[in-house]
Amino acid sequence: MLLINGKVLIHNGEGLNFVKADIRINSSTIKELGEKLTPLPDEECIDLNGDYVLPGMVNSHYHSYTNILKGTSFGEPLEMWSLDTVALGRILGEREMALSVSLGICDMLRSGVTACLDHIPHLATSHIAAKTYKNTGFKSAIAPMLHNVSDREILYEINEIYPVNGKHNKFPSVKDYVDYYIDFINRFHDPKGNVKVILGINSPQRANDELMKAASELACRFNLSIHCHLLETRWQRLSADNDISPLFKLDKFGLLKEQTSLAHCIWMNEDELDLIAERKAAVVSNPTSNAFLGSGIFPLKQYIKRNIKIALGSDGVNCGTSNNMMDILRFLLLLQRTQEMDYTQWISIEKGLQMITKNGFDVLGFDKPFGEIKPNHSADLAIIDKNSFLDILDDSFLNQMVFNASISAKHVLIDGRFVMKDGKISVIDEEGLRREISAIKPYLGKNMRKALNIANEEKKIYKSVYESLLISPSNIQ
Ligand SMILES: [Zn+2]
């Protein structure tokens, strides 16, 4: 297939720019780029009429089950919000999970996102997500969550209220986790294809040593990348300072390495930052989610200073965010400007775009590269209508795309196949999706309300401790 007359985002001698070029795609791969390529006999030729072509973007930290929970949180700090999302997650069965995964894929395709890292807490329905990704062609690195210690047992001062190893602990056994992982890997792990498995520790403090050891063995045995939440909130920092640093715990079990990506990483100390750099792990910032939950601001400067790879994620969409990675990048860039008086240190658009393209590929770690428009890369492309931009200065488009336009894709290709054409998604029946959601609305709404009411009871205890920590003396700001 030959895509002609596009303006393609590529590196030329002067950096990243939109350049007039044709793209030859053979099967799933970009084969050739150049001006006025000659069509081969029988080659399908598609005229892009001057539309703009970007590499498909990557959402490097995401929870698919939350798409159907959009708007269920009005905004409370993470520890309280977690009680809601855990309770809401419990009421979602196979059908609701399938709808939620599909909703997320549609959202992402519409904003030009073609790959995600899906950190999944619900193992019993994780196969639904895997099958949906497989069927739609959407690229997903699935990280089923490993955890067997609840926040009640480890959060500073909450752990004084609840009995240790109380009867509320309903986690699977370590053997069950290992069996599950082996089965899931055998069924779905295909790094050459569009679905792969990542070892998804929830957060190191939420897994006991036995589970961490088993996780480490699984990662070695199947050569898995590793992903986890890390030090997202001040309360987690306080808890870590009264116990072991979750990062050092991860390292102790050999799980902090180049194939490791760490989501959030807001409340870090110097030793931890240095260790991430030393191990060459990547961090995934989720700035909109962190702002919504009041978790804090990602210390971008500290990571840039140490040359640590940064990717971006949306986190769950019930954290006041969307799955539009360009919007999330914009938020990060604007936020940095409010924090950095030295404007020469502001992140360039090129560096920012790398966080939602190539660095995302590095975090997900598929065999065939994507995230750049280059020969021998997967043909994962988002095509934006030329009318989205004001065509006055020809070097203003990147700037407009990141800061002025709300990006929505006209066409999207994954592995050389159109999954969205002229605004119509071909791999998911969007109308059918809306109909199905309407059909389950009455019982789902009732169950959601019930779940939120149940969570409210426990939330009262968390709130009182949280408020006491706000006024308690601490050297943590
Ligand atoms: Zn998360």
Which CATH number is 296's domain given? 3.20.20.140
User: 146: CA distance to ligand 1 center in Å?
Assistant: 13
Does 398 lie in the same domain as 313?
A: no
In a domain, 438, yes or no: no
User: 35: CA distance to ligand 1 center in Å?
Assistant: 43
Domain span including residue 72: 57-364
In a domain, 135, yes or no: yes
Query: Residue 217 region, left (φ>0) first, then alpha (ψ -120 to 50), else beta?
Result: alpha
Final residue before a domain boundary, out of 320, 342, 364: 364
User: 467: CA distance to ligand 1 center in Å?
Assistant: 23
Final residue before a domain boundary, out of 364, 389, 407: 364
What pLDDT does residue 168 have?
54
**Structural domains of the chain, count:** 2
User: 119: CA distance to ligand 1 center in Å?
Assistant: 7
In a domain, 380, yes or no: yes
**Cα gap 321→331, rounded to integer Å:** 11
User: 316: CA distance to ligand 1 center in Å?
Assistant: 6
* Tens digit of pLDDT at every position of the chain (477 positions): 999 999 999 988 778 999 999 999 999 999 999 999 999 999 999 999 999 999 999 999 999 999 999 999 888 999 999 999 999 999 999 999 999 999 999 999 999 999 999 999 999 999 999 999 999 999 999 999 999 998 888 888 887 777 555 555 689 999 999 999 999 999 999 999 999 999 999 999 999 999 999 999 999 999 999 999 999 999 999 999 988 999 999 999 999 999 999 999 999 999 999 999 999 999 999 999 999 999 999 999 999 999 999 999 999 999 989 999 999 999 999 999 999 999 999 999 999 999 999 999 999 999 999 999 999 999 999 999 999 988 888 888 999 999 997 789 999 999 999 999 999 999 999 999 999 999 999 999 999 999 999 999 889 988 988 988 887 655 555
User: 62: CA distance to ligand 1 center in Å?
Assistant: 6
- Does the pTM of the predicted model rise above 0.85? yes
What pLDDT does residue 472 have?
62
Does 208 lie in the same domain as 146?
A: yes
What pLDDT does residue 161 have?
79
**Cα gap 137→415, rounded to integer Å:** 8
Which CATH number is 18's domain given? 2.30.40.10
Does 103 lie in the same domain as 118?
A: yes
Does 281 lie in the same domain as 183?
A: yes
In a domain, 440, yes or no: no
What pLDDT does residue 279 have?
98
**Cα gap 267→36, rounded to integer Å:** 51
Does 79 lie in the same domain as 38?
A: no
User: 178: CA distance to ligand 1 center in Å?
Assistant: 22
In a domain, 319, yes or no: yes
Does 344 lie in the same domain as 221?
A: yes
Q: Which residue has the tokens 């490791």?
A: 260
Does 96 lie in the same domain as 29?
A: no
User: 147: CA distance to ligand 1 center in Å?
Assistant: 14
In a domain, 443, yes or no: no
Does 346 lie in the same domain as 332?
A: yes
User: 308: CA distance to ligand 1 center in Å?
Assistant: 20
What pLDDT does residue 406 have?
79
Does 104 lie in the same domain as 237?
A: yes
Does 389 lie in the same domain as 344?
A: no
In a domain, 231, yes or no: yes
User: 195: CA distance to ligand 1 center in Å?
Assistant: 20
Does 147 lie in the same domain as 6?
A: no
- Spell out the residues 6+ positions from residue 334 whose beta carbon is closer than 8 angstroms to its own: none
How do beta strands 411-414 and 381-384 pair?
A: antiparallel
User: 358: CA distance to ligand 1 center in Å?
Assistant: 21
User: 322: CA distance to ligand 1 center in Å?
Assistant: 13
User: 111: CA distance to ligand 1 center in Å?
Assistant: 20
In a domain, 454, yes or no: no
User: 292: CA distance to ligand 1 center in Å?
Assistant: 13
User: 270: CA distance to ligand 1 center in Å?
Assistant: 23
User: 255: CA distance to ligand 1 center in Å?
Assistant: 19
User: 317: CA distance to ligand 1 center in Å?
Assistant: 10
Does 396 lie in the same domain as 253?
A: no
Cβ atoms within 10 A of the Cβ of 400, count?
17
Residue 322, class by beta-carbon neighbours within 10 Å (0-12 exposed, 13-18 middle, 19+ buried)?
middle
What pLDDT does residue 468 have?
87
| Pure H helices in 293-407 | 300-305, 325-339, 349-355, 358-364, 397-399
Final residue before a domain boundary, out of 364, 386, 408: 364
